[in-house]
Structure 1
Amino acid sequence: MAKPATETLKRTLKPIHLWAIAVGLVISGEYFGWNYGWGVAGTVGFLIATLLVTLMYITFIFSYTELTTSIPHAGGAFAYAYRAMGPFGGLVAGYATLIDFLLATPAIAFALGSYLHFLYPAIPVLQSALFFNVVFIFINILGIRESAAFSVFITILAVAELLLFMGIVGTHFKADNFMANPMPFGWPGIFAALPYAIWFYLAIEGVAMVAEEVKEPSKNIPVGYISGLATLAFLALGVMILTGGITDWRKLSNLDYPLPEAISVVLGRHNSFTKLFASIGLFGLVASFHGTILASSRQVFAMARSGYLPRGLARINHRFKTPHWSVMAGGLVSFMALYTGTTSQVIVLSVLGAVLMYIMSMVSLFILRLKEPQLIRPFRAPFYPVFPAIALIMSLICLIAIVWYNLWVSGIFILGLAVATALFVITGRHRTPIMGDTMLEKSGVILTE
């Protein structure tokens, strides 16, 4: 068996960095993607879906933080599920997390290309999306301190722009617009809209991927998660409600750039401020794009270090102390997704991965409470077992709804999991212990040949 990587990740992150990573990972969801929910549910139907999903994320994050602080491992849900359920649990959670983050990246790249195309129609969407991929792969290789500092800067700009957006369109909000044909597909539309409501918050769990690079993780991770969630909930509801009262919402329901279009309705498409807004609107997309590359690379790194992926991907660059091969592997997946999918399809796949990962995480929490009662838990899920139970039940409902309304895309997701499982068994990885990873070796689930 190959030796584990001897280089280690560097602990440099503070609460401000974690807030920026948490918000930055997600904030593009406030800029695009969510509006597809209007197309299947209407404004009020989508509002109900969003409130349900917000409740799911509140209960999930407060529960997930217990796992993140107890087992501060770059693998996130993969590590928790392995410790709770063994190799196959780790495989399912790891696969789900990889799909979550690796496919969120090209979805955001599509939107970046669309925003640029809105500003400069001569620039093709796909080519600019590929360009952003290359640039941010390079930035993420340079180092976690530099990467985190960039996250703080770009996330603050993105939040400021959304607040400015709400201030501008808020003065033109009309309840009649928002309430026009509010639930055209009835209650079934609410279930169809769930994946797009999840897009408002998807990837906040990525903070767990940098847990090995956080100073005082037991203290700082809860601060980063909770402050990030509060920020995102305020922005999501504010942007969605105010945008729905600007014009006929159906004009915005199938665009990759709903906010610039909404501003153009208020101020005029050729207004210089409309162009300026669309330009700085790139900040929010860049923040999430940068964050998802960071999180996905750490997931690839952790799974490679544990032998679930080729071990060469776990190598750490001696100079920059970053998993450079993992970063580039994620970029390759993003390139392939950009050539083969559309924004809405990639979003659904990413959300499927996220919801399955949430389910595995909550099951892991319940199992570890029973299996390892003496595990040091610096942060304990409040109102246990109610909060994790709510998160688990709502995640299951979301999973069923997403599969029901997206059978073809779900089939691709399930086929990928089946192939991964088959390879896992054929290579005998399910019988091979993880060595050199004390977080997982202590679990009591290491299997021997």
Structure 2
Amino acid sequence: MTAPQLKRGLKAIHLWGIAVGLVISGEYFGWSYGWATAGTLGFLITTVLIALMYTTFIFSYTELTTAIPHAGGPFAYARRAFGEKAGFLAGLATLIEFVFAPPAIALAIGAYMNVQFPALDAKLVAVGAYVVFMALNILGVTIAATFELIVTVLAIVELLVFMGVVSPGFSLVRFVQNGWAGSDTFSAQAFSGIFAAIPFAIWFFLAIEGAAMAAEEAENPKKTIPRAYIGGILTLLVLAFGVMVFAGGVTDWKTLSNINDPLPQAMKVVVGENSTWLHMLIWIGLFGLLASFHGIIMGYSRQLFALARAGFMPRGLSRIHPSTRTPHWAILAGGVVGILAIYSDSFIKLGGLPLTANIVTMSVFGAITMYILSMASVLKLRQTEPHLERPYRTPLYPILPIVALVLAVLSLCTMVYFNLLIFGLYLGLLLLGFVYYSVTHKQRANLTDDLAVPLEA
């Protein structure tokens, strides 16, 4: 009997929508915490460095996604290059990235709704978003991806509208004033702030790699994924720098640096509280948050599904729904963790930072770990499997993967230095994962890549 499989139905345009949609909430919130750490000028330098890392990363990572189209994405690449333990580490790091990103986005959705309806509890709105979008993801991948494409396009249009509406109020003087970590001049504090702000610059681009986890559901992934990734990173570069510069030049940027809704607050300065443009930004701006929220739910569920299918997570999480062909238990499991994270500030305080900033940092730790393992996999597989079919080959090899690898290692080292408490919690989660790994070796003993198929619901 043929084992149940994920349904293929995604075209290049769907994958582009997923790649951009996974990330686009990062243009709406989260990044402005970097201003509080580095100032506008310092954070601009941070963002240039991280943009270079992501550009070289994507042009290298695409080689892996087309050569090994697998729902596990980084888990499958590192496992093939370095073995089972490295594969599990990459999969677990990716899982932490994708499970902790949605609660940060859900809190921003609550903050945006709170601007329009001040009586609403932002956390209850966040939980409601989880319920609605877990259900949508369970309904089917084509429906989910089509929704993702529509809201992503709307979100892009809204970001362009934001830049156009606030442009008359833009002042370069305001953008550069006290732009070095709270002062007018470059100093040791400013230099330190450039590196301390790395997690928030990463938030501009975080999760674009998640489109690879839809590889088993894509039509002709060896052609469609490169188009989606290259188009996606170019789109995000334009939006990230445009939004950051225009928002920082319309008012005192310090008033926008520690909040979850910097764009509505920036626009409010230019057009006033009762402007139609402001209300449009809030409502259509929600689409950007929803696009990423919805897309990352898709991403974490596929990572959980792939790990469970290979025996690295409870086997039940690899069950797929008999009619919609989606990994419904994996979708629900990640949602439970995310909802717990939303309320984690009730019992844990880390570094005196806002809850959203801490969740963003935790997610970025997982991402950077995965980037390092993925770039190492590109280099290793070129040596060990030179004859592996590679429909897309990294340009300027090995320069691009080495640049991405070096910048990722630098990012990880500086993040550890500036976020020791969160890093300790991150290591604790990895340790728990490896305890589970060590006690479940028997459930993997009889599984191979061919046998590790999903269970029927």
Q: Say what the alpha-carbon RMSD is for the aligned residues.
A: 1.6
Mapped to 2, the partners of 1:233 and 1:249 lie a distance apart of: 21
Q: Does 1:324 align with 2:333?
A: no
Mapped to 1, the partners of 2:25 and 2:33 lie a distance apart of: 14
Residue 194 of structure 2: which of 190, 193, 211 is its match?
190
- One-letter amino acid of the structure 2 residue matched with residue 353 of structure 1: G
- One-letter amino acid of the structure 1 residue matched with residue 301 of structure 2: S
8 Å contact 1:308–1:429 — kept in the other structure? no
| Deviation (angstroms), 1:85 | 1.0
Q: Which string of whole-angstrom CA distances, capped at 9 and with x for unpartnered residues, describes residues 323-357 of structure 1?
A: 11111111111111111041110000000100000
Query: Kindly tell me: are residues 304 and 146 of structure 1, through their superposed partners in 2, closer, same or farther at Cα, counting changes over 3 Å?
Result: same
Mapped to 2, the partners of 1:436 and 1:198 lie a distance apart of: 33
Mapped to 2, the partners of 1:148 and 1:166 lie a distance apart of: 27
Equivalent residue for 2:273? 269
User: What is the TM-score with the length of structure 2 in the denominator?
Assistant: 0.93
Mapped to 2, the partners of 1:298 and 1:313 lie a distance apart of: 10
Mapped to 2, the partners of 1:359 and 1:240 lie a distance apart of: 27
Q: Does 1:380 align with 2:396?
A: no
Residue 396 of structure 1: which of 392, 395, 409 is its match?
409
Q: Does 1:106 align with 2:103?
A: yes
Mapped to 2, the partners of 1:67 and 1:195 lie a distance apart of: 25
Query: Kindly tell me: are residues 438 and 85 of structure 1, through their superposed partners in 2, closer, same or farther at Cα, counting changes over 3 Å?
Result: farther
8 Å contact 2:104–2:359 — kept in the other structure? yes
Point out the more displaced range, 415-424 or 239-248: 415-424
> After superposition, where does 1:29-44 map in structure 2 within 5 Å?
29-44=26-41
Q: Does 1:70 align with 2:85?
A: no
Q: Which string of whole-angstrom CA distances, capped at 9 and with x for unpartnered residues, describes residues 4-42 of structure 1?
A: x92101111111101100110000000000000000000
- One-letter amino acid of the structure 1 residue matched with residue 302 of structure 2: R
> After superposition, where does 1:412-427 map in structure 2 within 5 Å?
412-427=425-440
Equivalent residue for 1:97? 94
| Deviation (angstroms), 1:319 | 0.5
8 Å contact 2:311–2:443 — kept in the other structure? no
Mapped to 2, the partners of 1:430 and 1:130 lie a distance apart of: 34
8 Å contact 2:310–2:444 — kept in the other structure? no
Equivalent residue for 2:130? 133
8 Å contact 1:46–1:197 — kept in the other structure? yes
Partner SS state of residue 27, structure 1: helix
- One-letter amino acid of the structure 2 residue matched with residue 414 of structure 1: L
Q: Does 1:409 align with 2:437?
A: no
Q: Which string of whole-angstrom CA distances, capped at 9 and with x for unpartnered residues, describes residues 70-89 of structure 1?
A: 00000000000111111110
Residue 241 of structure 1: which of 238, 242, 245 is its match?
245
Residue 334 of structure 1: which of 338, 346, 363 is its match?
338
| Deviation (angstroms), 1:415 | 1.1
- One-letter amino acid of the structure 1 residue matched with residue 402 of structure 2: A
The number of equivalent residue pairs is 437
- One-letter amino acid of the structure 1 residue matched with residue 299 of structure 2: A
Equivalent residue for 2:117? 120
Mapped to 2, the partners of 1:356 and 1:61 lie a distance apart of: 15
Q: Does 1:28 align with 2:41?
A: no
Query: Kindly tell me: are residues 85 and 434 of structure 1, through their superposed partners in 2, closer, same or farther at Cα, counting changes over 3 Å?
Result: farther
Mapped to 2, the partners of 1:274 and 1:217 lie a distance apart of: 40
Partner SS state of residue 224, structure 2: helix
Q: Does 1:171 align with 2:168?
A: yes
> After superposition, where does 1:280-295 map in structure 2 within 5 Å?
280-295=284-299
Mapped to 2, the partners of 1:75 and 1:436 lie a distance apart of: 12
Residue 344 of structure 1: which of 354, 357, 368 is its match?
357
8 Å contact 1:246–1:266 — kept in the other structure? yes
| Deviation (angstroms), 1:416 | 1.0
Query: Kindly tell me: are residues 433 and 90 of structure 1, through their superposed partners in 2, closer, same or farther at Cα, counting changes over 3 Å?
Result: farther
8 Å contact 1:26–1:203 — kept in the other structure? yes
Q: Does 1:371 align with 2:390?
A: no
Q: Which string of whole-angstrom CA distances, capped at 9 and with x for unpartnered residues, describes residues 167-209 of structure 1?
A: 1112211011001111123111100011100000000000110
Q: Does 1:46 align with 2:43?
A: yes
Partner SS state of residue 87, structure 2: helix
Q: What stretches of structure 1 move > 6 A for 4+ residues in a row?
A: none
| Deviation (angstroms), 1:429 | 5.7
- One-letter amino acid of the structure 2 residue matched with residue 92 of structure 1: L
| Deviation (angstroms), 1:430 | 9.9
Mapped to 2, the partners of 1:210 and 1:373 lie a distance apart of: 25
Q: Which string of whole-angstrom CA distances, capped at 9 and with x for unpartnered residues, describes residues 251-281 of structure 1?
A: 0000100000001010112323312221211
Point out the more displaced range, 206-215 or 179-188: 179-188
| Deviation (angstroms), 1:422 | 2.2
Residue 211 of structure 2: which of 191, 207, 212 is its match?
207
Equivalent residue for 1:223? 227
Query: Kindly tell me: are residues 83 and 74 of structure 1, through their superposed partners in 2, closer, same or farther at Cα, counting changes over 3 Å?
Result: same
Partner SS state of residue 379, structure 1: coil
Mapped to 2, the partners of 1:212 and 1:114 lie a distance apart of: 35
